């Protein structure tokens, strides 16, 4: 069976199959008056159009309305949905995907995600914790802490061995330490070097600042190959120094700075990560497992090795193909029945056809959102539309005939809410007939688009 895997990390939503990575699309959206772009195209214009670029819609995935209009997008879930559509269109993909999701997603966010996937060209056939998949590729350990880098935070996930099972135990978030924060700090450092050495400030111009940001990942990956064939003294100097070249308006500007200065610049961020590791594993019993994105951060692995506050071992590491490969290997244990998705946070080692995870359903919806007002779902609630096209939600009264056109009625069935729709009502863009079980994220609208309602969940306490 062909298994395609979608990894949900906003530093790059990664779509893979048995041939490798098909596409990596960072969580950026560029919303301009006459064009909307997502992924790498949007990221590469983030400094050119900062007021029109958004990169928190996966990090803060929710149905909370924006404080100001953003084209036709009402909230972060709308942006995330359009990003999924763009990813599917770019990869020319539709159909089954296995979702690898970080532990930073709350149950509510998972419910929203499943609603978005349901309305997209993709079809989710299973959900697995991405750190669990990464851990299954490692030699058996009693305890692991997976360290992964996102756009706005680092996600730490502790996994424990329990008999033959690997179990996700705890998740800790380190806000303000994501790639956006780290790259901004490094750009300031590099800008200072350009100003001091060649009186050029690349951040005074949007185009040169964008070039600076675009080049940063490549500079961090440089390993000093240019030093080969030189004297030992010159070779050491080249390997310990970062050579930076930036072309702007026909002039090439050059600067040099010690690689150690990059590490020193990021020390405050690294210290926050270490503090959370200590809180997650106060006895220092765990081996650290670094994702490929974390491995590119200058000096972090060495900082973790030399950390004396805890006895953490390692760090070990994995590459960009590991999570998708494990998902394919364990595919039969991860793929769920068509009507019930299991969020797998526990898996048996070597289980190609057996899973010990418990099925976790998407959180049930509680309200319908109409014209910015939420109305609780109730058995018998009617959806109406008057002659002016305005929508109404009301409970029927005995002996009273509705004055407006009946679009559908809500019925509670087997612990779920279902919509018995009349002709002319669509759900997620598709015409429906008869009963439809409502799921979080469903969109109800008339065929002419004049009336729209969203199926949401209102939290009455932290979940």
The per-residue pLDDT for range 81-115, each reduced to its tens digit, is 999 999 999 988 888 999 999 999 999 999 999 99
Average pLDDT, the chain: 86
Map out the domains of the chain as residue ranges: 5-137+319-348, 140-316, 367-456
At residue 462, the pLDDT reads 41
At residue 213, the pLDDT reads 95
Strand pairing class (143-149; 287-290)? parallel
227-252 burial string, b = 16+ CB within 10 Å, else e? beeeeeeeeeebbebbebebeeeeee
As a whole number of angstroms, the distance between CA 103 and CA 371 comes to 33
- Phi, then psi, of 209 in degrees rounded to 5: -65, -40
Which of 33-47, 227-241, 273-287 shows the lowest per-residue confidence on average (mean pLDDT)? 227-241
As a whole number of angstroms, the distance between CA 422 and CA 455 comes to 17
Asked if 140-316 and 367-456 have one fold, the answer is no
As a whole number of angstroms, the distance between CA 93 and CA 90 comes to 8
Q: Domain spanning 367-456 has what CATH number?
A: 2.60.200.20
What is the chain's percent helix, strand, coil content, to nearest 5? 30, 35, 35
413 strand-pairing partners: 416
Question: CB-based burial of residue 394 (10 Å sphere; 0-12 exposed, 13-18 middle, 19+ buried)?
Answer: middle
Which of 137-146, 321-330, 333-342, 426-435 shows the lowest per-residue confidence on average (mean pLDDT)? 426-435
Q: Length of the chain, please?
A: 463
**Which single residue is written with the structure tokens 């390692």?**
314
Mean pLDDT of 207-220: 93
At residue 324, the pLDDT reads 95
Reply yes or no on whether the pLDDT at 367 is more than 50: yes
What DSSP character marks residue 33? Answer: S
Q: Domain spanning 140-316 has what CATH number?
A: 3.30.420.40
pTM: 0.75
- % of residues, the chain, pLDDT over 90: 54
Mean pLDDT of 399-404: 65
Tell which CATH classification among 3.40.50.1820, 3.30.420.40, 3.40.50.2300, 3.90.700.10 matches the domain 5-137+319-348: 3.30.420.40
Reply yes or no on whether the pLDDT at 413 is more than 60: yes
As a whole number of angstroms, the distance between CA 95 and CA 91 comes to 12
- % of residues, the chain, pLDDT over 70: 86
Reply yes or no on whether the pLDDT at 69 is more than 70: yes
Strand pairing class (36-38; 29-31)? antiparallel
As a whole number of angstroms, the distance between CA 118 and CA 282 comes to 41
């Amino acid at each position: 069976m062909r298994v395609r895997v979608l990894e949900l990390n906003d530093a790059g939503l990664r779509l893979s199959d048995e041939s490798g990575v098909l596409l990596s699309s960072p969580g950026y959206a560029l919303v301009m008056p006459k064009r909307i772009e997502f992924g790498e195209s949007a990221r590469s214009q983030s400094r050119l159009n900062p007021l029109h670029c958004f990169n928190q819609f996966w990090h803060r995935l929710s149905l909370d309305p924006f404080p100001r209009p953003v084209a036709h997008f009402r909230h972060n879930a709308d942006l995330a949905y359009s990003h999924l559509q763009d990813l599917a269109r770019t990869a020319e993909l539709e159909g089954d995907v296995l979702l690898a999701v970080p532990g930073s997603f709350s149950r509510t966010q998972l419910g929203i995600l499943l609603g978005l996937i349901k309305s997209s060209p993709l079809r989710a056939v299973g959900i697995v914790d991405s750190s669990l998949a990464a851990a299954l590729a490692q030699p058996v350990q009693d305890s692991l802490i997976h360290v992964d880098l996102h756009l706005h935070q680092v996600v730490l996930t502790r996994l424990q061995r329990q008999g033959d099972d690997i179990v996700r135990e705890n998740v800790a978030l380190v806000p303000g330490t994501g790639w956006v924060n780290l790259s901004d700090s490094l750009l300031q450092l590099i800008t200072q070097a350009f100003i001091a050495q060649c009186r050029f400030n690349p951040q005074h111009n949007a185009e040169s600042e964008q070039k600076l940001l675009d080049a940063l990942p490549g500079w961090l990956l440089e390993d000093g190959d240019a030093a080969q064939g030189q004297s030992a003294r010159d070779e050491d100097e080249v390997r310990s120094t970062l050579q930076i070249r930036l072309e702007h308006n026909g002039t090439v500007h050059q600067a040099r700075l010690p690689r150690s200065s990059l590490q020193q610049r990021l020390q405050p961020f690294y210290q926050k990560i270490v503090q959370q590791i200590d809180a997650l594993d106060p006895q220092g019993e765990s081996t650290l497992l670094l994702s490929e994105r974390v491995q590119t951060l200058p000096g972090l692995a060495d900082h973790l090795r030399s950390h004396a506050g805890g006895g953490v071992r390692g760090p070990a590491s994995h590459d960009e193909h590991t999570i998708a490969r494990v998902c394919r290997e364990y595919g039969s244990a991860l793929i769920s029945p068509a009507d019930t998705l299991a969020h797998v946070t526990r898996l048996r080692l070597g289980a190609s056809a057996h899973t010990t995870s418990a099925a976790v359903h998407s959180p049930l919806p509680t309200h319908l959102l109409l014209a910015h007002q939420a109305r609780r779902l109730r058995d018998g609630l009617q959806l109406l539309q008057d002659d002016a096209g305005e929508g109404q939600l009301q409970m029927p009264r005995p002996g009273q005939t509705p004055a407006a056109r009946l679009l559908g009625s809500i019925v509670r069935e087997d612990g779920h809410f279902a919509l018995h729709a009349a002709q002319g009502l669509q759900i997620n863009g598709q015409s429906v007939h008869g009963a439809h079980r409502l799921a979080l994220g469903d969109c109800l609208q008339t065929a002419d688009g004049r009336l729209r309602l969203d199926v949401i969940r209102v939290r009455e306490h932290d979940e």
